[in-house]
Amino acid sequence: MSEPVKELRAPAKVAARDVAPNRRRGGDIRVVLSPRTVASTSGFMGTLTLAPGEYVAEHYHPYSEEFLYVVRGRVTARLGGAQVIELAAGEGLMVPTGVPHRVWNPGEEEAHAVFHLSPLAPRPELGHVDTEPLPAAGAAEPLPDVGGPR
């Protein structure tokens, strides 16, 4: 007896350039593939651009692991308040669930990275917990909108 065949949906394509940047936590964060944009059910993916000296404020994800892959430039990550890890283009890092982390660009050129978080939090507003003050310039911006059906 064969398994029933699931109906195939058309692939959902989203360009990062078509997603509004969010600078609330620092850097240029664009949530590209998410429950909101493509009806994903297991996680979300996006891009991060950091100018020289720019950072993403320390935070943690109580429900998700975060995967970070540097495409161009280099970034430094601080995990758990003490462990410092340097990443160059072509290198990735997995941040375990619940571990506070901060990412910054120590270099002299712009850095570009791709991130993925999985599994999803029960509700989008539960996905991040900030543990340091947010950069003043972006503090008034709303949280990245990854919401939608779960």
What pLDDT is recorded for position 149? 46
What pLDDT is recorded for position 12? 82
Q: How many residues would you count in the chain?
A: 150
Q: What tokens were used for 35?
A: 């429950």
What pLDDT is recorded for position 150? 39
pLDDT per 10-residue tile (average), the chain, 150 residues:
62 90 94 92 96 96 98 97 96 98 97 98 92 71 54
Q: Are 40 and 34 in contact (CB under 8 A)?
A: yes
Q: Where do the domains of the chain lie, and which CATH numbers do they carry?
A: 41-138 (2.60.120.10)
Residue 29 CB contacts under 8 Å (≥ 6 apart), including other chains: 21, 22, 23, 46, 47, 48, 56, 144
What pLDDT is recorded for position 81? 85
What pLDDT is recorded for position 91? 98
